[in-house]
Amino acid sequence: MRTHPGRHAACAVLGAVLLLSCVLASPDPASAAGYPRRIAIAPFASLTKEDIGGTVSVLPRLLASRLMALAGADVVLLPAGGKAPEEAAREAKVPLLLQGTVSKLGKGYS
């Protein structure tokens, strides 16, 4: 049975989205005011020797759409190259920065 790198990467993204949505979404509107709902997402880095650039480049957009849909987050996608992600997020006045990597984990990716 063949494994699809995109499927494993999608599972990793789903896990990250669920974790972030739990942090960003709050059932009590009064307590939600204390948590920032703005987040910057930097391009993910691939730690594998295999060419999975197409899959890795889609991950920030997938995360952004899920965070906006599930938690009502205001998401800023940072461009690849140029400034360091920390500096770009600071200049955009975004309090949270999400950076990620994709690596080989057994037959799949994480």
Q: Which residue has the higher pLDDT, 53 or 16?
A: 53
Contact 70, 25 (CB under 8 A): yes
At 104, phi and psi to the nearest 5?
A: -75, 135
Tell me the average pLDDT of the chain. Answer: 79
Residue 91 has pLDDT above 60, yes or no: yes
* Residue owning tokens 């494994």: 3
CA 82 to chain centre: 19
Query: Dihedral sign, CA of 86, 21, 73, 10?
Result: positive
Q: What is the pTM of this model?
A: 0.67
Residue 29 has pLDDT above 50, yes or no: no
Using a pLDDT cut of 90, give the percent of the chain over it.
Answer: 35
Confidence of residue 52 (pLDDT cuts 50, 70, 90): confident
DSSP, residue by residue, the chain: ----HHHHHHHHHHHHHHHHHHHH--S-HHHHTTS--EEEEPPPEE-SSS--HHHHHHHHHHHHHHHHHHH--EEEEPPSSSS-HHHHHHHTT-SEEE--EE-EETTEE-
pLDDT at position 76, please? 95
Rounded to an integer, what distance in angstroms lies between the CA atom of residue 50 and that of residue 59?
17
Confidence of residue 24 (pLDDT cuts 50, 70, 90): low
Residue 50 has pLDDT above 50, yes or no: yes
